[in-house]
Structure 1
Amino acid sequence: VVVELCLHHSKHNFQAKLLLMRLYGHPLVAAPLRALELFSGVDIKEIQLEALLHLVLSDLMRAGLFHKVTALCKRLMAFHVGHENDAPELNVLAYKHDNYIQVGDSD
């Protein structure tokens, strides 16, 4: 309740959202849809998705919400496919601009 109140007064508080995601995903609380709602509201970008997906994925699977898991995994897969397609072009661009440190960083 205290963390929800904190989030109510500070709607963009990332730490409060992360804590609530973990609390709502806990088996004793078992509110994975609320955790997913918070996860979706964090406005997670590309590589952050891979780093933060674990916060809700296992909770959704435990609850049997496999269609939600599939949608999130498809989103992650789309990121990886896009990156795989863009990586060669990014390497060429870095090389053309004499930025040798970044050549190969996009792998």
Structure 2
Amino acid sequence: MIDFDGTLNAAIESTLGDEKTVVYLPRAGGSIPVLAIFTLITDHVLGDDGDAPANIAVATLGLRVSQLPVPPAQSDSVLVGATTYVVKDVDFDGLGWAYLDLGLQ
């Protein structure tokens, strides 16, 4: 069986991982420095008339689950640089990687 976490996920993490400090803050307490891929995307909110009256920012974080003592969960927090985000949703890929949907805390 292929070790996706030790080969593929480790390579992705080391190549694309953020240079910013990312600290995972489980709701139960503690802090874990992690190497992760953070994205902040600006998108448009379309009104009923098709115009884009507002922009929204969507923050996500991808990381290797094996970096954490327990899997990431809703209501945990993540510190990216000087900004703290709350974990709104977690999507596991089944191969050792998790995608976190973040919101400002």
Say which structure is richer in strand: 2
TM-score by length of 1: 0.25
TM-score by length of 2: 0.25
State which structure, 1 or 2, has the greater radius of gyration over its C-alpha atoms: 1
The structure whose RCO (Cα within 8 Å, separation 6+) is larger is 2
Say which structure is richer in helix: 1
